[in-house]
Amino acid sequence: MKNKRISLDDIATSLGVSRSLVSLVLNNKDARHGISAKTKQKVLAKAKELNYNPNHFARGLRLGKSFTLGLIVSDIANGFYSKIARNLEDLAEENGYNLITCSTDEDIERELRLIKLLREKQIDGLIISSSQNNPIEFNRLRAEGFPVVLIDRYFDGLEVPAVVVQNCEGAKLAASHLLKQGYKRPLILAIDPVHVYTIRERREGFIDEMKNRSINPMVVNIPFENPFDTIERVIEELVDNSLLPDCIFAINNNLASACLQALRKHNINVPNDIGLISFDDVPYFNFMNPSITAIAQPVDEISYVSFEMLMSSIKGEQSLLTESLTHLPIELIIRESTIKNR
């Protein structure tokens, strides 16, 4: 015979109190309704004794919520996004939510399908690092009253909150550092699609700083799929044609890792033969040989700020957030990969 689910009525009957009192205690609303600490402890103890498990599905139907959030990023395997995903998962759990995470591979159509799929699953809100080339989809979601927050990406004319870092300033810091180290023939390893906000900002910031010193960097756009093989071919062609630069600025940590692997294969010494700097810092950069100089992003702060924005939007507490753009600072971490004759 199937065991009967313990209900609020069961707890209330066993204690001789009202169902509403039990509900207030179990939903952490006891203090505001003047319920004593002694009564609260009795309710919690009885709930534990009876092995009470709340029916979140029924509660969700009653409140019109699923208590589920969505996260869409380009690649959950990327260390930057995996850390954000873990942070958001913890924040969601602390606030009574579950998190569904998806990867787009920077595919615009796949991203739209994932947004549609998550909405069909009745998620309460979405955090997304978008690959779109305009804000139309997100402005439409806002018009429908659906809570959404962008991270790492932004569009002119965007009408939903977004959390980004100082991409242009970070790239300029990277260029300035390389110039101070005496590098003069830089290569930028960017990644498709080139219209993506972060990629464009980093590329343009680096180029602008170099042009101030009358230096025009080479730029190679690497397809999102399988960057390791592509970068290996790029390095091989540069070596064969005696066009190898003296330093490389990798737009993200995946490209930096692929670049270091290709350079090692060709016995090119970092940093004495060629300098390497990455936009994005990941923990293993500090332990590699050589360790990798990087522009570090405040991953924990990106996670926290975007989550708080989404919660405010879901609760309807701060409507002004629907038009806010938050810029967070970056940090240049200098390591061995850009210091010659170390």
| 61 lies in some domain | no
Closest Cα partner for 276 from 208, 177, 199, 200?
177
CATH number at residue 13: 1.10.260.40
| 184 lies in some domain | yes
User: In which element (H, E) is residue 71 found?
Assistant: strand 68-73
pLDDT given at position 212: 95
The answer on 182 and 33 residing in a single domain is: no
Both tokens of residue 167? Answer: 């991409």
The answer on 185 and 96 residing in a single domain is: no
Q: What is the dihedral of CA 185, 202, 82, 336, to 10 degrees?
A: 30
**pLDDT tens-place values along the chain, 342 residues long:** 345 677 888 888 989 998 888 888 887 778 878 889 889 999 889 888 888 876 554 555 455 578 999 999 999 999 999 999 999 999 999 888 999 999 999 999 999 999 999 999 999 999 999 999 999 999 999 999 999 999 999 998 999 999 999 999 999 999 999 999 999 999 999 988 788 899 999 999 999 999 999 999 999 999 988 889 999 999 999 999 999 999 999 999 999 999 999 999 999 999 999 999 999 999 999 999 899 999 999 999 999 999 999 999 998 865 544 457 899 999 999 999 999 865
| 341 lies in some domain | no
The answer on 205 and 278 residing in a single domain is: yes
Taking the C-alpha atoms of residue 291 and residue 12, their distance in angstroms, rounded to an integer, is: 62
| 305 lies in some domain | yes
> What is the reported pTM?
0.80
The answer on 131 and 70 residing in a single domain is: yes
The answer on 159 and 71 residing in a single domain is: yes
| 336 lies in some domain | no
Neighbours of 65 (CB within 10 A): 17
CATH number at residue 200: 3.40.50.2300
Looking at the chain, how many residues does it have? 342
The answer on 171 and 292 residing in a single domain is: yes
The answer on 208 and 121 residing in a single domain is: no
| 46 lies in some domain | yes
The answer on 200 and 105 residing in a single domain is: no
| 337 lies in some domain | no
Local structure of residue 213 (DSSP, 8 states): T
pLDDT given at position 30: 81
3-state helix, strand, coil in the chain (%, to 5): 45, 15, 35
List 248's β-bridge partners, or say none: 187, 276
Residue with tokens 């080339």: 133
pLDDT given at position 54: 67
Structural domain harbouring 202: 167-296
Output phi, psi for 306, to 5 deg: -65, -40
pLDDT given at position 61: 45
The answer on 202 and 116 residing in a single domain is: no
Asked if residues 72 and 126 have their Cβ atoms less than 8 Å apart, the reply is: yes
Q: How far is CA 310 from CA 18, 81, 290, in A?
A: 35, 18, 40
The answer on 316 and 283 residing in a single domain is: no
The answer on 132 and 24 residing in a single domain is: no
Count how many domains the chain has: 3
| 80 lies in some domain | yes
The answer on 135 and 86 residing in a single domain is: yes
Taking the C-alpha atoms of residue 8 and residue 98, their distance in angstroms, rounded to an integer, is: 23
